[in-house]
Amino acid sequence: MVEEGQKAPDFTLPTGTGETMSLADFRGKPVVLYFYPRDNTPGCTKEACGFRDLHEVFSEVGAVILGVSTDSPSSHKKFAEKYQLPFPLLSDEDAAVSTAYGVYKEKTRYGKKSMGIERTTFLIDGDGVIRKIYPRVKVEGHMEQVLEDVRHLSNG
């Protein structure tokens, strides 16, 4: 698991629009990197729409939002279009990036064990250093907390 104060692992992943993006593309800007389990599930939809609704405010403070799950680029494309998501969704189909960040874990749901992403957000500064980790995110109020922390980061 990566820790606060460490350099964020760089990556290059495909988006739902067919391009690829790297974390390094956003040097100089704070990045809100949020990992979520699945497109079109209730919690993930609520989280994505929460970030969508605050996207303009995040942009005003210079922050970039990136969502990551193990869904395919085509799933991301449909999910983003359905909910008018204005930020990139990155496809980590082999879970390599999720594993590097320590969020791909064994989960138990209804008594069945499976591997999947544990909902986690990372706030990364313009130098690529992880400033805050939000483990096991509860969606309610999360986006507002991240925005407040981005503002503190931007102010100094």
Catalytic residues: 44
Query: Which residue's structure tokens are 């096991």?
Result: 136
- CA–CA dist 133, 121 (Å, integer): 6
Burial 66-84 (b: 16+ CB within 10 A, else e): bbbbbbebebbbebbeeee
User: What is the number of alpha carbons within 13 Å of residue 42 lying toward its C-beta?
Assistant: 2
Specify the pairing of strand 12-14 against strand 130-134. Answer: unpaired
Contact 71, 118 (CB under 8 A): no
DSSP state of 29: S
